[in-house]
Amino acid sequence: MKISRRAFLGASLATGGALITPQTLAAPARQLPLDPTSAPVVPTTTPPEGVLGEALTALERHRDRIAFADRIGIADYTAHSREYRFHIADVEAGEITKSYLVSHGRGSDPANSGFAERFSNVPGSNASSRGSYLTGQAYVGKHGRSRRLHGLEPENDRAFDRAIVIHGASYVDEAMARNTGRVGRSLGCFAFEQSEIGDVLELLGEGRLLYAAA
């Protein structure tokens, strides 16, 4: 869904009405329990104005560390894991170009509800961390093609040492989201569908911003 560049950049001021509306169904309310037996078709959603604004503000704040400001990745951890809640934003064009399923950490969701409720930067917490990341080098590891991340803020500055990376995983899958009402959990990494990881790694190459909103 395309919006004007002025409106897109204006989101950082957090003013006015919602810039982007959900294409189908919004994320379920946190207080409502999910019934996996009646899980809906996995909807594609776009991030609310506030999340876009946070990401754009982060891009400006860390601009001296970000080599390429053409695209940014946004993990909207306010949304449920069955939602397409990871978004690639084309800053110049002023549009969200792709959205994906993405995991959060086990330590962020000990009850396996599908909602990320806790965040940590502590080694061994197995939790996701909020904030801004700089995408690093690509490599091939135990999860196949992956990309390293460098935390840019106190709440995620241990990301590299914790081996918090972008990788593909069998436990992130659209069929799983449909059948169980959620995807699996990582150890804090941003895990994507195996069929999509190549696309994510290409679009979110080295030297770009990944912002995790929660």
Total domains in the fold of the chain: 1
On whether residue 29 sits in a domain, the answer given is: no
Considering the chain, what is the average pLDDT of its residues?
83
On whether residue 31 sits in a domain, the answer given is: no
On whether residue 112 sits in a domain, the answer given is: yes
On whether residue 28 sits in a domain, the answer given is: no
- The per-residue pLDDT for range 82-129, each reduced to its tens digit, is 999 999 998 887 678 999 999 999 999 999 999 999 999 999 999 999
On whether residue 149 sits in a domain, the answer given is: yes
On whether residue 32 sits in a domain, the answer given is: no
8 Å CB contact between 126 and 204: no
- The per-residue pLDDT for range 20-65, each reduced to its tens digit, is 222 322 333 333 334 544 454 565 556 656 788 899 999 999 999 9
Residue 147 has what pLDDT? 98
Which helix (H) or strand (E) segment is 172 a member of? Answer: none
Print the domain residue range for 97: 5-22+41-117+125-213
CATH number for the domain that contains residue 108:
2.40.440.10
Please, which pLDDT band fits residue 172 given cuts at 50, 70 and 90? very high
